């Protein structure tokens, strides 16, 4: 076990990369119980989090089998024609409610076309 109270913060930072998770946790506990240097406690906490993240990522990559990707054929894109717009004469347009009329535009021939 690494006793951080005998070392400076800089020296402990240099040794952190050599420790495993349990060694980091023991060193963190010793620092909290000992000199309680906040910068070192934060550094040890970050190192523990990084090691745990590495272990989780390694476990995920080992658990997931690699899938072979098949070459996909190029997609065929079809362009749909725009639906024909409805056309009303003036009499039918007047039968519409006031709110519905907002969706229609008057054409040059006097009829109304849906927007």
| CA dist list (Å): 99 to 77, 104, 105, 107, 115 | 37, 10, 13, 19, 14
Please give the pLDDT value at position 106: 93
In the structure, what pLDDT confidence band is assigned to residue 71 with cuts at 50, 70 and 90? confident
Residues 6+ apart with CB under 8 A from 112: 87, 88, 89, 90, 92, 93, 104, 105, 106
Range 49-54 average pLDDT: 90
Range 93-106 average pLDDT: 91
Helices (H), 64-101: 90-95, 98-101
């Amino acid at each position: 076990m690494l006793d951080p109270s005998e070392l400076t913060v800089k020296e402990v930072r240099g040794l952190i990369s050599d420790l495993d998770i349990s060694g980091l946790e023991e060193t963190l506990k010793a620092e909290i119980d000992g000199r309680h240097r906040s910068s070192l406690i934060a550094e040890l906490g970050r190192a523990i989090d990084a090691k745990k993240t590495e272990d989780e990522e390694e476990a995920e990559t080992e658990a997931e089998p690699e899938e072979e990707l098949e070459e996909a054929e190029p997609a065929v894109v079809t362009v749909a024609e725009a639906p024909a717009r409805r056309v009303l004469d003036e009499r039918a347009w007047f039968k519409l409610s006031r709110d519905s009329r907002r969706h229609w535009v008057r054409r040059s021939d006097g009829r109304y076309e849906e927007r």
